[in-house]
Amino acid sequence: MASSSRYRFSPLGLLCLCGFVVSLYLALVWAPPERVMGNIQRIMYFHVATAWVAELAFVLVGLASVVYLWRRERDWDILAHASAEIGFLFCTFVMITGPLWGKPVWGTWWTWDPRLTFSMILWLIYVAYLMLRAYGNDMPQVKQFLAVLGILGTLDIPFIHFATMWWRGLHPETLTMREEGFGSGMEREMLIALLVSAITFTLMFFYLMGRRMALERMRDEVETLRERIETRLEG
Amino acid sequence: MALFKAAYTIFLKDMTVEYRTRERLTTMLIFSVIVLIVFNFAFNFGGMAVQRIAPGMMWTAFVFSGMLGVNRSFAPEKDRGTLDGLLLAPVDRSAIYLGKLFGNLLLIGLIEVITLPLFALFLNLPLLPYVDRLTVVLGLGAIGFAAIGTLFAAVSANSGMREVMLPILLLPVVSPVLIAGVETTTIVFRDGTWEEMSRWLRLLGAFTVVFVVASVVLFDHIVEE
For B32-52, the pLDDT digits (tens) are 999 988 888 888 766 667 777
| CB of B124 closer than 8 Å to CB of B49 | no
SS3 state at B81: coil
Q: Round the average pLDDT of chain B to a whole number and report it.
A: 89
Tell if the CB–CB gap between B158 and A141 is shorter than 8 Å.
yes
What pLDDT sits at residue B46? 67
Chain B hits for A128, CB-CB cut-off 8 Å, are 168-169, 172-173
Q: Which residues of A touch B225 (CB under 8 A)?
A: 140-141
User: Helix or strand or coil: residue B74?
Assistant: coil
Residue type, A82: A
**CA-CA-CA-CA torsion sign (B104, B109, B114, B116):** positive
Looking at residue A7, its pLDDT comes to 57
Chain B partners within 8 Å of A167 (Cβ): 179, 183
Pick from B5-9, B48-52, B124-128: least confident: B48-52
- Could you tell me what percent of chain B has a pLDDT over 90? 52
Q: What's the pLDDT score for residue A2?
A: 47
The pLDDT of residue A200: 93
Q: Which residues of B touch A160 (CB under 8 A)?
A: 175-176
Question: Which of residues B124 and B66 earns the better pLDDT score?
Answer: B66
If you measure CA to CA, which chain A residue comes closest to B204? A159
**For chain A, how far is it from start to end, CA to CA, in angstroms?**
27
Using CA coordinates, name the residue in chain A closest to B207.
A159
pLDDT at B89: 84
Q: Cβ distance A105 to A37 under 8 Å?
A: yes
Three-state helix/strand/coil letters over chain A: CCHHHHHCCCHHHHHHHHHHHHHHHHHHHHCCCECCCEHHHHHHHHHHHHHHHHHHHHHHHHHHHHHHHHHCCHHHHHHHHHHHHHHHHHHHHHHHHHHHHHHHHHCCCCCCCHHHHHHHHHHHHHHHHHHHHHHHHHCCCHHHHHHHHHHHHHHHHHHHHHHHHHHCCCCCCCCCEECCEECCCCCHHHHHHHHHHHHHHHHHHHHHHHHHHHHHHHHHHHHHHHHHHHHHHHC
pLDDT digits (tens, 9 = 90+) for B77-101: 888 888 888 888 888 889 999 999 9
> If you measure CA to CA, which chain B residue comes closest to A140?
B225
What is the rounded CA–CA span in Å between residue B181 and residue B183? 6
Contact B222 A145 (CB under 8 A): yes
Would the CB atoms of B173 and A147 count as touching at under 8 Å?
Answer: no
Measure CA A105 to chain center. 25
Report pLDDT for A6: 54
Instruction: Please give the average per-residue pLDDT across B18-31, as a whole number.
Output: 92
Instruction: Decide if pLDDT at B16 tops 80.
Output: yes
Q: Is the Cβ–Cβ distance between B180 and B204 less than 8 Å? A: yes
Contact A121 B172 (CB under 8 A): yes
Strand A181-182, strand A177-178: pairing = antiparallel
Question: Which of A125, A141, A144 comes nearest B172 by C-beta?
Answer: A125
**A136 contacts in chain B (CB < 8 Å):** 159
Q: First-to-last CA distance in chain B?
A: 27
SS (H, E, C) A131-148: HHHHHHHHCCCHHHHHHH
Region B188-196: mean pLDDT is 86
Contact B185, B55 (CB under 8 A): yes
Size of interface A-B (CB pairs under 8 A): 86
Q: Which residues pair with A38 in a beta bridge?
A: A34
pLDDT at A30: 86
Question: Cβ–Cβ of B158/A156 closer than 8 Å?
Answer: no
Nearest residue on chain B to A161, judged by CA atoms? B176
Q: Give the closest-approach CA distance of B173 to chain A in angstroms.
A: 6
Instruction: Determine, for residues B210 and A166 on separate chains, whether the beta-carbon distance falls below 8 Å.
Output: no
Print pLDDT tens along chain A (235 aa): 444 455 566 888 889 889 988 888 888 888 888 777 778 788 888 898 999 999 999 999 999 999 999 998 899 999 999 999 999 999 999 999 988 888 888 888 888 878 888 889 999 999 999 999 888 776 778 889 999 999 999 999 999 988 888 886 445 555 444 444 445 567 788 888 899 999 999 999 999 999 999 999 999 999 999 999 999 998 7
- pLDDT tens per residue, range B164-185: 889 999 999 999 999 999 999 9
- Across the strands, what pairs with A178? A181
